[in-house]
A and B are shown apart, each in its own frame.
Chain A
Amino acid sequence: NAGVMQNPRHLVRRRGQEARLRCSPMKGHSHVYWYRQLPEEGLKFMVYLQKENIIDESGMPKERFSAEFPKEGPSILRIQQVVRGDSAAYFCASSPGLAGGPDYEQYFGPGTRLTVT
């Protein structure tokens, strides 16, 4: 059973470009979380999705950021018009919980390191 997969592992974008980060959850998991880790900071929750639904996006910046988890295919975190402050490691996690319940651990992917030049 493959773990959570993220690609690309490293992404370099110039200011103003778009960044698309992909996450394939573990087989059988239908709950996906995105977290951001800024340099020298802890992991911060961004968004929680189930198939075709955004459940909690309380950690998402109001502008330029969006996420989706379609019926088929990976979850996508999209950052439009990137700025230098978007440079960070973006981690995706998946969970098998029936309701994303808190008693299920989350399985993290290796992360995508975004560098904005």
Chain B
Amino acid sequence: SQKIEQNSEALNIQEGKTATLTCNYTNYSPAYLQWYRQDPGRGPVFLLLIRENEKEKRKERLKVTFDTTLKQSLFHITASQPADSATYLCALVGSSNTGKLIFGQGTTLQVKP
């Protein structure tokens, strides 16, 4: 069956360091992959989208990579700040689907000052 896995353990890092979050998937061939941020008690907020023919995408301090051979996406936050503390969700979108998102469980990031 299709499976999307993100590190279930919280990631704790020091302010200023680079945070790297992992999203692995199996039995799936997504055409697109998206990353969202979710704060407690709020809905997810879109961050970045990367297509299967793109290796890397950047937006300000954020960088996403997409390796369809390894079936993995990495999400990086450089020069992390305490305000980056949140849960980060990866979501897959199939190539022939209706746009519905299949989410991973999310990884909680805690950036300490």
Contacts and interface: CB of A to CB of B under 8 A. Distances in A.
Interface of A: 4, 31, 33, 35, 41-45, 48, 55-56, 58-59, 91, 93, 95, 97, 99-111
B44 interface: yes
Contacts of A109: 43
A106 B101 contact: yes
A24 to B, nearest CB: 14
B43 A48 contact: no
Nearest to A113: B41
A103 B49 CA distance: 8
Interface in B71-113: 89, 93-95, 97-106
22 contacts: A33-B100, A42-B103, A42-B105, A43-B44, A45-B101, A45-B102, A48-B98, A48-B100, A56-B97, A91-B43, A93-B43, A97-B99, A102-B31, A102-B94, A103-B32, A105-B34, A106-B46, A106-B101, A107-B46, A110-B42, A111-B41, A111-B43
Contacts of A105: 34, 46, 49
Question: Which are the 9 A-B pairs with shortest beta-carbon distances?
Answer: A108-B43, A100-B99, A102-B93, A105-B46, A43-B103, A42-B105, A45-B100, A56-B98, A102-B32
Secondary structure at the A interface, as helix, strand, loop or mixed, is: loop
Interface in B34-74: 34, 36, 41-46, 49, 51
B51 to A, nearest CB: 7
A56 B100 contact: yes
B89 A43 contact: yes
A56 B49 CA distance: 22
Given A103-B32, A107-B46, A95 B103 contact: no
B68 to A, nearest CB: 15
Residue of B43, B49, B51 with highest tally of chain A CB at under 10 A: B43
B18 to A, nearest CB: 24
Given A42-B89, A43-B89, A55 B46 contact: no
Contacts of B100: 33, 45, 48, 56, 58-59
Contacts of B93: 102
